Amino acid sequence: MATASPKSLYWKGVRTAAPFLLMVTPFGLLFGVVATEAGLSLAHTMGFSIVVIAGAAQFTALQLMTEQAPIIVILASALAVNLRMAMYSAALAPYLGPAPLWQRALIGYFNVDQTYAMSIMEYEAKPQLTVAARVAYFLGIATPICPVWYVMTYIGAVVGSTIPDAFALDFAVPITFLAIVAPAFKTLAHVAAAFTAIVLAVTLSWMPYNLWLLLAGLAGMIVGAEVERRVGRARVRPT
Amino acid sequence: MTGYSSAQIWMIIAAMGIGTFAIRFSFLGLLGNRQLPDWLLRHLRYTAVAILPAMIAPLVLWPNATGGEPDAPRLAAAAIALAVGIWAKNAIAAIFGGMITLYLLQYLLG
């Protein structure tokens, strides 16, 4: 086949990513709304979405800040939530490693769940793509996803302060996390990890400085990994 | 946001930004084309699925809005969000399901 040009791959990425805006739009709005309700200024709220650009970690930091957790606990918890992205980086490296450093740095910044998942599928399906074409495809996907995240955060933050308490937005954060996690309960190991973490979080919640969160998270990880080692990645439900 | 100065919040944002970038850039940038050991990959797979439920469990059981008392509408909303998320595998549907349940029950129970 003719080698696909970087330009055509870029636009293919843009088109592939468009449906995922249905996901990014409400999450961005919700972060803006909840951050403003929690008392963050518009600048701080935008700072999170532009500098960190990681929804789950941003919600984690926000929740712990409303609990007045120590800064070190906020950082450790939020970064632990992002550790999965080290796997994304390792998975992309064989495909994108030869690209110039500035391009890899740009990809690192935009290396979020959606851009990673869509790119790796394309790279695996089309091993003959040039490195330049792969970079173009990745940036094509990031083009609609990431700016929409910023803009929706902004709209949410501006609108958020006018939403009355009756909407019980205090509970939007737990519901959002449940919604993010529930589709991941694919295997016995995932369920065991979550169950262990929940039991420890509830029983250790007397501990100061939100230390229970780090201990429960660490124990959940270890149990998940151990269950996987023993029974493999057996599915608890059909996919 | 009480309890943190503006400068402290900027520090949190900057440190999270740097840390997150370091995680995302790690293998693409510096570590290159090397394999992660299996045991480490195995643990990384379960980070989010452990930390996030641990964080929400106390919020669901003892919500701040009710002064820490368990609250039937919130418990039901969490259960519905979880169920919709597992069955539909769709996070947005789960959020809508959970929040609509919460509003409905708060309205019905006054």
Kindly provide the ipTM of the predicted complex, given to two decimals: 0.85
User: How far is Cα A37 from Cα A112, in angstroms, rounded to an integer?
Assistant: 26
User: How far is Cα B27 from Cα B43, in angstroms, rounded to an integer?
Assistant: 17
User: How far is Cα A119 from Cα A95, in angstroms, rounded to an integer?
Assistant: 10
Candidates A175, A218, A187; CA nearest to A81 is A218
- Determine the pLDDT at residue A201: 94
- Determine the pLDDT at residue A20: 80
CA angle, A181 as apex, B64 and A139 as ends, to 5°? 115
User: Number of Cβ pairs closer than 8 Å across A and B?
Assistant: 296
Interface of A with B in 51-70 (CB under 8 A): 51-54, 56-57, 60-61, 63-66, 68
- Contact between B87 and A183 under an 8 Å Cβ cutoff? The reply is no
Confidence of residue A1 (pLDDT cuts 50, 70, 90): very low
- Over 70: is that where the pLDDT of A2 sits? no
Confidence of residue A3 (pLDDT cuts 50, 70, 90): low
Q: Is the Cβ pair A101, B29 closer than 8 Å?
A: yes
Residue A76 distance to chain B (closest CA, Å): 9
Q: Six-digit token pair at A105?
A: 């740095």
List residues bridging with B109 in a β-sheet: none
Q: Six-digit token pair at B102?
A: 């919460």
Q: Six-digit token pair at A147?
A: 């700016």
pLDDT (mean) for B93-103: 93
- Determine the pLDDT at residue A188: 94
Structure-model confidence comparison of residues B35 and A153, the more confident one: A153
A234: left (phi over 0), alpha (psi -120 to 50) or beta: beta
Q: Which of B42, B84, B98 sits opposite A228 (nearest CB)?
A: B42
Residue at token pair 């418990």: B75
Per-residue pLDDT tens digits for A131-158: 999 999 999 999 999 999 999 999 999 9
Interface of B with A in 23-52 (CB under 8 A): 23-29, 31-33, 35-36, 39, 41-52
Per-residue pLDDT tens digits for A25-74: 888 998 999 899 889 999 999 999 999 999 889 999 998 998 899 999 99
Per-residue pLDDT tens digits for A183-199: 888 899 999 999 999 99
